[in-house]
Amino acid sequence: MSDTLAIENPSLEDPKIFQFHQEQAGLEVDWFKQAQQAAWARYLELPLPVRTNEKWRFANLSRLRDTGRFQPAGGELSQVTVDRIVKASHRFKEVAGRIILADETLAAPVELDPELGKKGIIFTTLTDAIVKYPELVQKYFMQQSPELGSEKFEALHVAMLRNGVFLHVPDNVEVDRPFVIYNWTVRDKGAIFPHTLFVAGKHAKATLIEFQESASPGTEHLVVANAHLFADDGAQPNHTIVQNWNQNTLSLQLNTNNAWSDTNAKSTLINVGSAQARQEVHGKIFGSGSNVEMYALNVPTENQEFDQRTLQTHIAPNSRSDLLFKNALIGKSRTIFSGLIIVEEDAQQTDAYQTNNNLMLSEEAEANSLPGLEIKANDVKCSHGATTGRINDSELFYFLARGIPRNKAQELMVFGYFEEIVEKLDNQELADYVREVVQHKFMD
């Protein structure tokens, strides 16, 4: 990387870091400043995760104990880098809007189809939204938490977050084209804290796609990201994150999907990047008649560790949730899937499903699966399943018998295995891109 730091930022270990950060940010919105102050106090107070905590069972904790050396990203980037990033942030012919953030700073002006702006859609950076629509942002900002073990990092995220994206689709507005976010890490040893807030009003329909990338393969990063999805009655939000940070990144992604009545809320995680990625997703169903879908496609290779923890909490009766997390493990990679379905006492007639499939493609890969259920209502249909296995030998033989070489056959079969998730993306360009990224991972 050719970029050099304009100013020497303090690291996360520096006792003055928070004060420095607030001065730098210069956001004069009281509630937000107070939220950050409170979060910083909480961050200092909360202990680091320990292995005996069920929420961290099987996880590798050493990297998480060593985050102090990172410096919150900030300052100017070279024009060359910015140009390159903007050029690479172009994966769709037509979008409803586009935001490109490099180390949490806008790399290009926010794009939003003016027609959509006229319909009342807000698609802008989080800092801009906090200034322009403080009450609206405050109504949703950090109102929900995944509650899956990363409370300390969540506090750090709130205290240190510098930017993010706010997408608000008003009642009854439907948008077919996707809103797209490109989040880039640039500076070596930089820490970023991107925050996505996606609010879909009553009967609103929209798709938000988020790409997470690094400008260079060799730099080292800490990412503590949050994404929160709010679906009001009848809304149909669709949110996808393609996590492709470089392989020296420690990333945490802490998400909630909140659904009220009669919604169709979908969220998908595609994971290829990071040295270690910890992801928490909590689907909360507050209304009846909703259908909440949570999917993930994960291709860890080499020494990567993907640690995913999920919750599906049914608070209201008569809703449905479906979770499918599929892993294909290569090299010495490790995965942890820990999922829990909670059906509260009043959530009768719940339909909840949870499936984790692990396809083992190497001798040394390790898959850990913790599929759980906590059912407090009796009139429910709930099931979970976990399978861990290898490529089906007879299917493989069929390919070989047709003259297809073994590794090509394996690749085809793995693609077939992932197609179940890719099909659910509901966007041809995104699906093609995901196929390409996965294929790239196989060729490495």
* 290: Cβ contacts below 8 Å, ≥ 6 apart: 231, 259, 260, 261, 262, 263, 264, 265, 316, 319, 320
What letter does residue 64 receive in the DSSP assignment? G
Q: How far is the CB of 378 from another protein (least distance, A)?
A: 4
Nearer to another protein, 288 or 368 (CB): 368
Rounded to whole angstroms, the Cα distance separating 384 from 250 reads 30
Nearer to another protein, 215 or 296 (CB): 296
Q: How far is the CB of 407 from another protein (least distance, A)?
A: 14
Q: How far is the CB of 382 from another protein (least distance, A)?
A: 4
Q: How far is the CB of 383 from another protein (least distance, A)?
A: 4
Q: How far is the CB of 103 from another protein (least distance, A)?
A: 37
Rounded to whole angstroms, the Cα distance separating 356 from 417 reads 12
Q: How far is the CB of 424 from another protein (least distance, A)?
A: 22
Nearer to another protein, 234 or 300 (CB): 300
Nearer to another protein, 4 or 52 (CB): 52
Q: How far is the CB of 384 from another protein (least distance, A)?
A: 5
Residues contributing to the site for another protein (CB under 8 A): 52-54, 57-58, 345, 348, 358, 360-391
* 431: Cβ contacts below 8 Å, ≥ 6 apart: 422, 423, 425
What letter does residue 316 receive in the DSSP assignment? S
Nearer to another protein, 378 or 428 (CB): 378
* 405: Cβ contacts below 8 Å, ≥ 6 apart: none
3-class DSSP state for residue 408? helix
3-state helix, strand, coil in the chain (%, to 5): 25, 35, 35
DSSP letter string, 130-166:
HHHSHHHHHHHTT-----SS-HHHHHHHHHH---EEE
Characterise 381 by phi-psi region: left (phi > 0), alpha (psi -120 to 50), beta (else): beta
Residue 397, judged by CB atoms within 10 A of its CB (0-12, 13-18, 19+), counts as: exposed
Nearer to another protein, 107 or 343 (CB): 343
Q: How far is the CB of 414 from another protein (least distance, A)?
A: 12
Rounded to whole angstroms, the Cα distance separating 361 from 410 reads 9
Can you tell me which residue has the tokens 């928070």?
18
What letter does residue 424 receive in the DSSP assignment? G
Q: How far is the CB of 52 from another protein (least distance, A)?
A: 7
Nearer to another protein, 291 or 362 (CB): 362
Number of C-beta neighbours around residue 320 at 10 A: 19
Nearer to another protein, 38 or 48 (CB): 48
Give backbone dihedrals phi and psi of 137, rounded to 5 degrees, phi first.
Answer: -65, -45
Nearer to another protein, 55 or 177 (CB): 55
Nearer to another protein, 420 or 429 (CB): 420
* Cβ(179)–Cβ(150) below 8 Å: no
Q: How far is the CB of 385 from another protein (least distance, A)?
A: 5
Rounded to whole angstroms, the Cα distance separating 334 from 61 reads 13
Nearer to another protein, 3 or 151 (CB): 151
Rounded to whole angstroms, the Cα distance separating 307 from 104 reads 24
* Cβ(373)–Cβ(340) below 8 Å: yes
Q: How far is the CB of 428 from another protein (least distance, A)?
A: 32
